[in-house]
Chain A
Amino acid sequence: MTGRRRPGAGSRDVSGASGWARVAERGSLLGLRITIGCYRLFGRPLSLVLVHAIVLYYFLALRRARRASRAYLRRMASQPEGARALGRRPGTPASFLHFRAFALSIFDRIVLWLGREGDLEFDVHGMEACHRLLRSDRGAIVVGAHLGSFDALRALAKRDSIAVNVLMFTRNARRINAIMRQLSPEAEVRVVEAGPSAFDTVLRIRACIERGEVVAMLGDRVEPGDRGRSCEVSFLGAPVAIPEAPYLLAGLLDCPLFFMVALRSGAGRYRVFAEVLAESVELPRSERDKRIRELAAAYASRLEHYCEMAPYQWFNYFDYWNQDRSR
């Protein structure tokens, strides 16, 4: 008897935490708790002062993340559009701004989870085209990235009365999510947990789509649970592996595929961009790999475009272009 092996399968660590997971898990809990307490006690302006102090601490303490940040910024600076958007050399000050952007994103995430959406402003582009493709018996897959705020999707869902389910690799986010649940225990948090060999995960996704709901997932990192389900695309001038799952799911479940990203444009302000990557995804078995590569390349191209619009809001603080080596 022979099992099937995909190229690359087995080379990825599916049991240990990823490089990013190690960074995210390291001590973020305390900083988050302090920020939440401060926000509740003193409001936004004073809390922001504290956020900067916390950012400085993490910036000094997380050497690997700092190195990864600088490597990313150098790559961004090598792109004409990216260099313009950075507005400075990819040195230590730029790297600090990169860390600061992440802290501000987490800060706004807390605001959202405290139910204070009114404190934030969303300027939404392109949602109409997506709405037109949603049906009561067939939802959509939304693919996002660790760029800007993925949580803005929740505010958008509330505004537009769309049922949104977020597929999460919860082992990475468990600690942050525990806090979020404490903040907003009454909120209907619809998280679909993803994990290795989770057959029922796919069934739950299928059920969501058949109810006309949206299933959102991040498409820029190959998580341990993806087990070799990745394809190579060009991103910021170099090849990188991204997960196939969003494209394969959209094809198998016969639903539209959207791209969405929310970029912070100022204090408490976000520009949300929604695009239709595919109105429907047909994946005949004979052309499946080719079609998935095309969709993944289209995603990477749009991601690159938005990343160049907001280069400091790219929240992957590990050696993104050499993920296997950084894990």
Chain B
Amino acid sequence: MRAGESLPVDRREVLDEVRASMAGLGLCPADVPSTAHLVDDLGLDSLDWIDLAMHLEEKLSIAIREEALASVRTVQDVADRVHAALAEGRGAPA
């Protein structure tokens, strides 16, 4: 995050952050519902997905666990994993 920007805290903010990051993959954030399947609905492949995960990790200074990443299917799943990683970073239960 840039200086002065605060980390997203609640699930809604995290979801918005995930959607915003999808702009870099050629998607329009406003067109991405939380229930969208990354592959079937958005046409993402594994390289897009690792790109998204690493972008979020870098931007939010988090580390998403590999086992958590492997089971991601929808946009909401991504937001949930990011939310959990942020909570871990703060020392709070996810």
Residues of A within 8 A of B (CB): 1-5, 9, 196-203, 206-207, 227, 229, 244-245, 248-249, 252, 285
Contact = CB atoms under 8 A, between A and B. Distances in A.
Contacts of B45: 196-197, 227, 229
B47 A229 contact: yes
B43 A4 contact: yes
B42 A4 contact: yes
Contact of B51 (A3, A5, A252): A252
Contacts of B27: 2-4
Nearest to A228: B45
B58 to A, nearest CB: 10
Nearest to B44: A4
14 contacts: A2-B28, A3-B27, A3-B41, A4-B44, A197-B45, A199-B46, A199-B72, A200-B70, A201-B46, A203-B50, A203-B66, A244-B47, A252-B51, A285-B24
Contacts of A198: 46
A1 B41 contact: yes
B54 interface: yes
A20 B50 CA distance: 29
Best-buried of B24, B36, B43 by chain A (most CB within 10 Å): B43
A197 B44 CA distance: 8
B32 interface: yes
Given A207-B66, A252-B51, A1 B32 contact: yes
Interface residues of B, number: 25
Nearest to B45: A227
Interface string B4-41: 00000000000000000000111110011100100101
A121 B70 CA distance: 42
Contacts of A202: 46-47, 49-50
A1 B69 contact: no
Nearest to B47: A248
Nearest to B39: A197
Contacts, number: 56
A1 B35 CA distance: 11
Contact of A252 (B39, B41, B47): B47
A197 B40 CA distance: 10
Contacts of B25: 4
Contacts of A227: 45
Contacts of B72: 199
Best-buried of A4, A198, A248 by chain B (most CB within 10 Å): A4
A206 B50 contact: yes
Contact of B54 (A4, A196, A252): A252
Contact of B43 (A9, A199, A207, A249): A9
Contacts of A207: 66
Best-buried of B26, B27, B41, B50 by chain A (most CB within 10 Å): B50
Contacts of B70: 199-200, 203
A166 B69 CA distance: 22
Given A3-B41, A199-B49, 5 more contacts: A4-B25, A9-B43, A199-B69, A203-B50, A285-B24
A244 B24 CA distance: 17
Contact of A1 (B24, B33, B39, B47): B33
Contact of A3 (B42, B46, B49): B42
Best-buried of A196, A202, A203, A207 by chain B (most CB within 10 Å): A202
